[in-house]
Chains A and B, each alone.
Chain A
């Protein structure tokens, strides 16, 4: 029931935010905070339950009949991987509310409604174990996100929102075809019509069909991730979205693509995934280098950060298709750590835009003198983002490469070159924005609210960097099961 409450609270909270928004401007913000706070209260105790888990993967399950005629069930379940991502979603959701506090002045009720419904969709994606239900949530998170960009975005928001919508929608269509085909093939062989994940896991597919189905799923997830060459929606969407929207996009929505790879692509088609691995790793390596190079070339602060996401999520792709425990754990850690570091960098870019009304780094410079706290915090996350050991991103990337090298040394070496390119863009940001002679007379530094939000993110990054064991332990059961898959089944 906890899982159902989680979704219900978020959805109802969204409606409350919309309604209270008609009354006072502050009310929807507080409603959103209360909603997410309640969610967290539900979720945090679950971490304690992880310790007592022994052999089973699923910590919580909820399985209701929904559309029995087509074998569609309302099946939610939570394992270590989902738990980590749900916690990340709620954490970043709170921060997204926090960082929109002064930025969003128009229609705050509607804004927070969309924000919470996006989060509900994401939570559903992380929890659904029925493929139809999964697809349903996949679409649910899309629509409110579209409105977040198109209503509260910046100068070119209509184009960006439409691009985001079309990319996701069209790739989602391929996934829908793949889901239907999978269900149909399973029906043909077993005579039972079901969308249930646990049953489809045992679908008897011939290798050729499995390859096509994998491609359908992969396309949807690769667009979301995003992997080169399906990434071009991302810089526009991230740049044009309001800060809160960028935080959600980079911090959470991209992770749904990564989650999909781990939850569906690998377990449903282990054999095909094994064949596909070199392509996956290659695309991952390409994303890392190409994204980093593009990031370096940008002069728009948010656009630069957007491209770094492409680069970082490339590591997830490498980790997922490397497929051993080290690499998979690395992919999970990268998801979490990138969620934190990218969210922080977007919040910084948003804070600068709120103050300067520009994202153009050519107009910035020497801000360290004017706003040392802002500078120090940016430096922290730039350094986290270039993979400094002791902070979260390093653990993920290191494990991905360590594991990847065991199976595909060639592509992993290419991916490792990303370590050289990352400082190029990360340190250029510091140089352009904070170093050099001051370009302005004054700039207000981070205040209490912003510093508080940033400290939460800093704490998260340091924790992940210095004590990743605590999170690796949560996802260990899931990851071990995943890593065993190719050995267990042929296709």
Chain B
């Protein structure tokens, strides 16, 4: 069974190839069977492989499968090889499992779209690339998956290509992440230059053996890899692309921009945790970036009016928690939160998608209102997802977030404080979203017509969001165990109370008849703060002025290529010379004779003096 591991990524690839080769001419009824079916088979196979793998005895629990020789040049050998340990197994489960549910949901959600087959083709390609990313045995192959998911993200954000703004969002996403990817590529070059290999396990082992803790090389390498991680995982300072990425169809936001691809950075750091352990300053930086990001995007989520953008900022914020966990040394907690987040955030997006579909593509929460009665399935599933997001007790989110906050407290109480404040913010913006969109007066008529293919994934994800906390895998073999002492009762109480406080505050602000928020926003200070938060802390504005505009300006300025001017000058000079000398050919013999005489005299004179 383990030997079938290669089929897990290659089944979706086959689906992609079939859908591309048929060029959209496949009867519509068959498309989801190819698209979702291939991922379903892959999920089944992944389950089988997983059972087999976990049933193994002996240590270390690893499985390696070399498919073919990929690149070999000089000292570099990088095979197309898959590597399985509990960490990649966990990721494989998430990608195929949640991925399959979202594929099934898409069969219903995208049914009316003319680009049905294209949509599934891109989705299948994405699943393939994501699986290669998490299963890669060496860093170049991981990079292949890494860029591959970026490409699919680009393709799917810009899926509705007729609108230029979608294309812009797609290019922005690709470019911003590419900045991070380039840092990561430099990290690979540095690793190879220093250690002479790019095989992941070998690299980590060599780094441990050759680099002392805190060595400069380790710090630089970890920083470069972190660059890749913050790009992909939309953390400060490269988080600007994710909110715009919501231009893509909602299932994409669930699959790529919530459950799987954006967490790749977390996976990368966990995968190369040995390097981060060798670079303590960078590890602290990871925690700080996470803490700051989760607070900033939590605030921004409070001001958004588009349901998907609220969820997008919430995703950034939740990944901030994962970074906080990684930075605090709670590696396994980060992966656990990654897993539960995949459940509940996919659920939230899919439920939001059901709402959007029922409202004929209305995404503004202030135009929704009172939906809880008219859209029962969407409402209840959204509510469950929201509960898990807020980390109310007994949901999956509570289990994973608790681990993170206790680890953060051990690392530094300030980190814990940021995380707990973030939990309050989470409660606040989530209840705001719920109260505005689902309660209050009805603003737009809505009817829920969901097929089984949309309801079933919602129900399964709802169950996972509630009970997924019991699905924690042990990563003791792969990731160092964090020794976290239990929090003292006071801290523990605050940690537990923060989400409730947020929800209560939210109810107070948005659920009652008091118009506190409006008063706040009317105040000039409140208004400018609102605008600042709404714009995502002005980061887009800043990057536009710092990078985009100068580049475009320079490009436009030098469109004709200034270098060519030099050669054009040669032409002009030649022409002038020509014009200058033409009169000498006058046809008058005496002028020629005079010229010859003068020339001869000059030469003789030169000879005499020389």
Contacts and interface: CB of A to CB of B under 8 A. Distances in A.
Contacts of A405: 186, 189-190, 192-193
Nearest to A233: B567
Contacts of A296: 551, 555
B158 interface: yes
Interface in B17-64: 20, 23-24
A44 to B, nearest CB: 22
Nearest to B179: A420
B585 interface: no
A298 B185 CA distance: 28
A438 B558 CA distance: 30
B154 interface: yes
B68 interface: yes
A294 B73 contact: no
Contacts of A427: 154, 170-171, 174-175
Given A419-B182, A466-B80, A376 B20 contact: yes
- The interface size bin for chain A is 35 or more
B554 interface: yes
B182 A297 contact: no
A293 B554 contact: yes
A324 interface: yes
Given A401-B185, A423-B175, A431-B164, A326 B75 contact: yes
Interface stretch (A190-198, A275-283, A387-395): A387-395
Nearest to A290: B563
Nearest to A375: B161
B137 interface: no
A483 interface: yes
Contacts of A409: 189-190, 193
Given A231-B563, A431-B164, A466 B70 contact: yes
Contact of B76 (A326, A366, A388, A437): A326
A403 B74 contact: yes
Given A412-B189, A436-B161, A297 B558 contact: yes
A211 interface: no
B555 A297 contact: yes
B140 interface: yes
Given A369-B162, A467-B70, A469-B69, A389 B563 contact: no
A417 interface: yes
Contacts of A436: 161-164, 167
Contacts of A435: 158, 161-162, 164, 167
A368 B567 CA distance: 40
Nearest to A421: B551
B567 A232 contact: yes
A406 interface: yes
Contacts of B554: 293
Contacts of B144: 389-390, 394
Contacts of A424: 175, 551
A2 interface: no
B73 A329 contact: yes
Contact of A366 (B151, B162, B188, B567): B162
A221 B102 CA distance: 54
Interface in A401-452: 401-403, 405-406, 409, 412-413, 416-417, 419-420, 423-424, 427-428, 431, 434-438
A405 B185 CA distance: 11
Contacts of A152: none
A399 B77 CA distance: 11
A383 B554 CA distance: 24
A330 interface: yes
A235 B561 CA distance: 10
A460 interface: no
B76 A402 contact: yes
A483 B559 CA distance: 39
B71 A229 contact: no
Contact of A293 (B20, B70, B555): B555
Interface in B479-500: none
B74 A329 contact: yes
A423 B170 CA distance: 11
Contacts of B556: 297
Contact of A399 (B71, B147, B563, B564): B71
A238 interface: no
A398 B140 contact: yes
B76 A399 contact: yes
B548 to A, nearest CB: 10
Interface in B545-575: 551, 554-556, 558-559, 561, 563-564, 566-567
B178 A431 contact: no
B143 interface: yes
A483 B555 CA distance: 38
Given A297-B556, A420-B175, A431-B171, A232 B563 contact: yes
B148 A390 contact: yes
A420 B548 CA distance: 13
B593 interface: no
B302 to A, nearest CB: 33
Interface string B145-172: 0011001001000100111100110110
Contacts of A406: 189, 192-193
A483 B74 CA distance: 10
Contacts of A232: 561, 563-564, 567
A388 B193 CA distance: 22
A387 to B, nearest CB: 8
B72 interface: yes
Contacts of B72: 469, 472-473
B181 interface: yes
A490 B451 CA distance: 76
A399 to B, nearest CB: 5
Nearest to A467: B68
Contacts of B73: 325-326, 329-330, 399, 403, 472, 476, 479
A41 to B, nearest CB: 28
Contact of A324 (B74, B158, B185): B74
Contact of A372 (B24, B75, B167, B567): B24
A413 B186 contact: yes
Contacts of B178: 419-420, 423
Interface string B73-109: 1111000100000000000000000000000000000
A35 to B, nearest CB: 33
B171 A423 contact: yes
A222 interface: no
Contacts of B147: 388-389, 394
A263 interface: no
Contacts of B164: 431, 435-436
Contacts of A403: 73-74
Nearest to A236: B564
Nearest to A417: B182
Interface in B109-168: 140, 143-144, 147-148, 151, 154, 158, 161-164, 167-168
Interface in A107-145: none
A398 B73 CA distance: 11
Given A228-B563, A389-B140, A431-B171, A419 B148 contact: no
Would you list the 6 A-B pairs with minimal beta carbon distance, nearest first? Answer: A325-B74, A405-B189, A389-B144, A329-B73, A297-B555, A326-B74
24 contacts: A235-B561, A294-B558, A296-B551, A297-B555, A297-B556, A326-B75, A389-B143, A389-B147, A389-B148, A398-B185, A399-B73, A405-B189, A405-B190, A406-B192, A409-B189, A420-B175, A423-B175, A427-B154, A427-B170, A435-B158, A466-B80, A468-B71, A469-B71, A472-B71
Interface of A: 228-229, 231-232, 235, 293-294, 296-298, 324-326, 329-330, 366, 368-369, 372-373, 376, 383, 388-390, 394-395, 398-399, 401-403, 405-406, 409, 412-413, 416-417, 419-420, 423-424, 427-428, 431, 434-438, 466-469, 472-473, 476, 479, 483
Given A232-B564, A326-B74, A326-B76, 17 more contacts: A235-B561, A296-B555, A366-B162, A389-B140, A389-B143, A417-B182, A423-B174, A427-B154, A427-B170, A427-B171, A431-B164, A431-B168, A436-B161, A436-B162, A466-B70, A469-B72, A479-B73
